Structure 1
């Protein structure tokens, strides 16, 4: 895994010393993502920067990587991610006459574009199975190609300029260039509060994400976004037993592919169905005893209080799986003082790059990743199983299903409204967050593929397909981005086998009755993996990622917010309603008016730090 960045400016030579310094500065911001090596490549109007986390072909996989023909550079690549089918592609390319100098997957990507992508780069990208974000300069065509994987596992941002583009794995790489403005407008604030993925809104004005499943072409003629992949109705005809068998076959194949690594590998284990199935299957295929890691909090299990969709603590189930599977297991137990540590919170904000926060859930994932990185370089995680197999309670609650909005906002809306109550009423009116979210919702619905066959006339099947699509395209990217940022901030590569596009396509196309054939959530996944799991986990009800229940953490937020209100010159002060903000300090966490106060305080404190630390101008 790596960090990439670059700059194309068709009106100048980026080999000039001042331009090289800017490119070097951009590249340096990616050091956490790539602690093992760095490189730059410049040729006329293009400059590419790379920071490397060495995982495959430690010696031969250095970047930027070039392909030379007739003594001249034909292609230059900076690449982040893994192509899990690179060995098969290498064999096909070798059979077609391509010659290789390394054993890295990066060189396979370069050669794939030369062999299959001459007419259309999307033809080469479609051959890849993996998580990736990369930039390819075609010297003959004088164009830059930006590519992002199908589900958006790896991040990639770009910023159009008058004469070209800036790009990077994270916004901080782009902002290191003097050509990028540090401005957040109303849309940026809407994205911060909305909790709906929107690649066209990267918080900073003028900045965008390369959308998942897209290629972006940059030439003198302008910038084009071209789709190479999207979910479709497959006309699923397999019965339930056949579907279950095929899901297992896909999981077996996917996990075997994703165990390939030249550095130590482990799994993230929560004791839920997803991570437990992943760990159990990885243990079956790993040539060595698999390592597993879990996060816990001091006193959490002993003082646990059910609530918020969480009926049980994770620890007993984690131990059941570790014993049943035989993993080399380690619990990472965190204290409130660690979660509240100002240096940790600052590191999390720097990793996030934008003022979007999930509070202590971000901090605990960062600390977990940091602890794991001392023993492993690669980790397998269970992200997307809930979105793919229908695991969230919202899939199964008629009120959420019928709601004419994103299903998850039924629960988040209260917390969003709480934050808005702290903002200046005039600003809230300008934001029109409800209208913004509704526009995103209507756009997202328009992308849902039409159903075919008998299902086309079933309103409930249609609605459940819509909900599955919404979760995969507008909710999951938020979780993938969080996991990528917190792990790569400490140089840990996290792989997500449930995001394999073949599995996603197959399960997306199955009827809702298949996904719930046993009357429970994630029926297909449970049936496909029950034979490798302890019964306690097979029967366990869905439980979310844990959040600390220590009141000391809430007190830390309260004190931080009180201190913020004392700073009359704070960056966020012009955005707040002073009276409402003062009232929030006296509202208990369960107050009906200030429900969700913890996240509201987190959001305001994060926004203040973001504006001041990044030197961002608010344009409203």
Structure 2
């Protein structure tokens, strides 16, 4: 896992632009704390910051391949290709010789052998840029689910690219300009594949390849979800899901550095941790490390709400008592979560706006900061709800029948604190409805599929292509800001496609959410967790956290910047600090306050120019 950056320009000699590519690469320093490298050809410059995970000595980048004294291609690469050993064996049989044991060299050699069709052979999470000296073209490749980010911006006769927008913005001729569409994206709890917040900037779509040549840019899709007839019985389906999970965990527990698992006491993380623990014990003779997060109560009793009907701690204890992992519980308090140091670190990580309300991003940062002290790789349960149908909006008609993004149907409008003119210009409800319609049109369906079956497939597609990318981006930004690689086993494309094909009646065969996952892991997950209903990522219920936010907003309003005066309704902002405190995790007033402060932090930190 690393950070990449680069510049291709067919009208400039980039050999004298080392300082620029160095500045772009330096923005990725937190993503890759172990090493850095720059490679420059006349029309291409590649930068790399490395987090060493596989082949610690040999996997230095950018990495080039040559023949007969001539360089053929050079790669800068981030991520993990889990089937690299099998691919290396296949390439060796075709005459390729390897200098390292890294997956980076396998990806590069695979490109030389199969061209950009190599992407279809990779299993993993990855984003890479390959400069082909033979064709004088750049090839950008991103994994199927978009676990690893990759952004680009056409520029002159070429392109700028990076793991994060800040790498592109570090170019001296780039500006952080955001139009109305970009601001809509920054305010929306969803993503449209390919779109970015900044004007002129794009992301490589998941499962896509972008080619840059003298003739311009072209794009090719190498993978997408399809609707296929599911003919397996229930028992076979449960067994196949389990077989996929065991295959995935065998692949994703390979690491040359310490590995752990994030444990919430929910079904998803418990299944991952239990299966990984079996493999680690057999291979290394020790239990896996696991980590959980909780919040200091300070006399505040837990209050159940629609997101969490019980605290996580008893379920974490039940898991650890039964499986005896090497467990560490991280306890956070409101003062630490709300500290200016933590918020500054989070804002630095989120250069496209910080969409998560409440304390989720700061608390996630603090959890992963503690994890990073002992581990370099962590397993996480993201995507299980999208794959297996865990969210409330899969099950409640008032949400899944809404003519908008289903998760928006129960959320207040995040633009309520903007100036009236700006709020009216954004037309956010119409934007969300249009986004919903656009994504539904793209959703695959079986011939003749109608009614509830078609709608549930649309919901799965919406979750996997619009909601999940936001969660993956959040986990990537926070973890990589700490130099921690987070692997997401439920994003394996074979598992995703198999369960996507499974009819909704089978996904909920026992009348509950995530029935298939629960049945597939029933023998390794404690009964208390199997019986537990879906619970969201925890949030502090301590009113002291909201009090800290109110104090920050009050201080900001004493001397508001010209940008804040121009973009926000000052009366609405003051209204956020006059509301009574609440001790629940789903508190929309607190969420509005937190989200607004995060939005202002982003606008100020990146000197965003609104071009509306």
TM over 0.5: same fold?
yes
**Which residue does the alignment assign to 2:168?**
174
- Secondary structure of the residue that 1:101 maps to in structure 2? coil
CA distance in 1, matches of 2:371, 2:205: 30
1:542 aligns with 2:534: yes
1:576 aligns with 2:571: no
| Cα contact 1:199–1:208 (8 A) shared by 2 | no
CA distance in 2, matches of 1:459, 1:611: 43
Give the TM-score normalised by the residue count of structure 2: 0.97
**Which residue does the alignment assign to 1:504?**
496
**Which residue does the alignment assign to 1:403?**
402
| Cα contact 2:3–2:163 (8 A) shared by 1 | yes
**Which residue does the alignment assign to 2:223?**
229
**Which residue does the alignment assign to 2:439?**
444
Q: 1:302 to 1:612 in 2, by over 3 A?
A: closer
Q: Which of 186, 191, 196 is equivalent to 2:190?
A: 196
Q: Deviations over 1:11-61 (max 9, x none)?
A: 111101xx1001011111111111111100000010000000000001111
CA distance in 1, matches of 2:136, 2:196: 27
| Cα contact 1:355–1:603 (8 A) shared by 2 | no
Gaps of 5+ in 1: none
- Secondary structure of the residue that 1:572 maps to in structure 2? helix
Deviation at 1:301, TM superposition (A): 9.8
- Secondary structure of the residue that 1:333 maps to in structure 2? strand
CA distance in 1, matches of 2:249, 2:505: 26
**Which residue does the alignment assign to 2:369?**
370
- Secondary structure of the residue that 2:14 maps to in structure 1? coil
Q: 1:192 to 1:239 in 2, by over 3 A?
A: same
Deviation at 1:580, TM superposition (A): 2.5
| Cα contact 1:146–1:215 (8 A) shared by 2 | yes
Over aligned residues, Cα RMSD in angstroms?
1.6
CA distance in 2, matches of 1:570, 1:552: 30
| Cα contact 1:35–1:51 (8 A) shared by 2 | yes
- Secondary structure of the residue that 1:421 maps to in structure 2? coil
Deviation at 1:69, TM superposition (A): 1.7
**Which residue does the alignment assign to 2:594?**
602
Deviation at 1:406, TM superposition (A): 1.4
1:474 aligns with 2:466: yes
- Secondary structure of the residue that 2:15 maps to in structure 1? coil
Q: Deviations over 1:56-102 (max 9, x none)?
A: 00111100010102211111000000000011111111111111111
Q: 1:595 to 1:83 in 2, by over 3 A?
A: closer
Q: Deviations over 1:86-131 (max 9, x none)?
A: 11111111111111111111111011111111xxx1x110000000
Q: Deviations over 1:195-216 (max 9, x none)?
A: 1112443211111111111111
Within-5 A mapping of 1:338-377: 338-358=336-356, 359-377=358-376
Q: Deviations over 1:161-219 (max 9, x none)?
A: 12211100011111111122211111121011111112443211111111111111111
**Which residue does the alignment assign to 1:136?**
130
Deviation at 1:585, TM superposition (A): 2.6
Q: Which of 107, 120, 124 is equivalent to 2:105?
A: 107
**Which residue does the alignment assign to 2:83?**
85
**Which residue does the alignment assign to 1:187?**
181
Gaps of 5+ in 2: none
CA distance in 2, matches of 1:562, 1:237: 60
Deviation at 1:608, TM superposition (A): 2.0
CA distance in 2, matches of 1:301, 1:212: 46
- Secondary structure of the residue that 1:532 maps to in structure 2? coil
Per mean C-alpha deviation after superposition, the further-off stretch among 178-187 and 487-496 is 178-187
**Which residue does the alignment assign to 2:156?**
162
| Cα contact 1:357–1:602 (8 A) shared by 2 | no
- Secondary structure of the residue that 1:531 maps to in structure 2? coil
Q: Deviations over 1:325-379 (max 9, x none)?
A: 1200000111111101101100000011122231410001111111100000000
CA distance in 2, matches of 1:601, 1:526: 37
1:513 aligns with 2:512: no
**Which residue does the alignment assign to 1:9?**
9
Q: Which of 593, 601, 615 is equivalent to 2:607?
A: 615
CA distance in 1, matches of 2:275, 2:454: 33
| Cα contact 1:11–1:45 (8 A) shared by 2 | yes
- Secondary structure of the residue that 1:212 maps to in structure 2? coil
Q: 1:433 to 1:315 in 2, by over 3 A?
A: same
Per mean C-alpha deviation after superposition, the further-off stretch among 220-229 and 51-60 is 220-229
Give the TM-score normalised by the residue count of structure 1: 0.95
Per mean C-alpha deviation after superposition, the further-off stretch among 124-133 and 294-303 is 294-303
- Secondary structure of the residue that 2:513 maps to in structure 1? coil
**Which residue does the alignment assign to 1:552?**
544
- Secondary structure of the residue that 1:322 maps to in structure 2? helix
Within-5 A mapping of 1:25-104: 25-104=23-102
CA distance in 2, matches of 1:284, 1:300: 37
- Secondary structure of the residue that 1:195 maps to in structure 2? coil
- Secondary structure of the residue that 2:337 maps to in structure 1? helix
Deviation at 1:457, TM superposition (A): 4.0
1:148 aligns with 2:142: yes
| Cα contact 1:5–1:27 (8 A) shared by 2 | yes
Deviation at 1:584, TM superposition (A): 3.0
| Cα contact 2:300–2:542 (8 A) shared by 1 | no
- Secondary structure of the residue that 1:80 maps to in structure 2? strand
CA distance in 2, matches of 1:327, 1:111: 39
CA distance in 2, matches of 1:609, 1:584: 16
Q: How many residues align?
A: 605
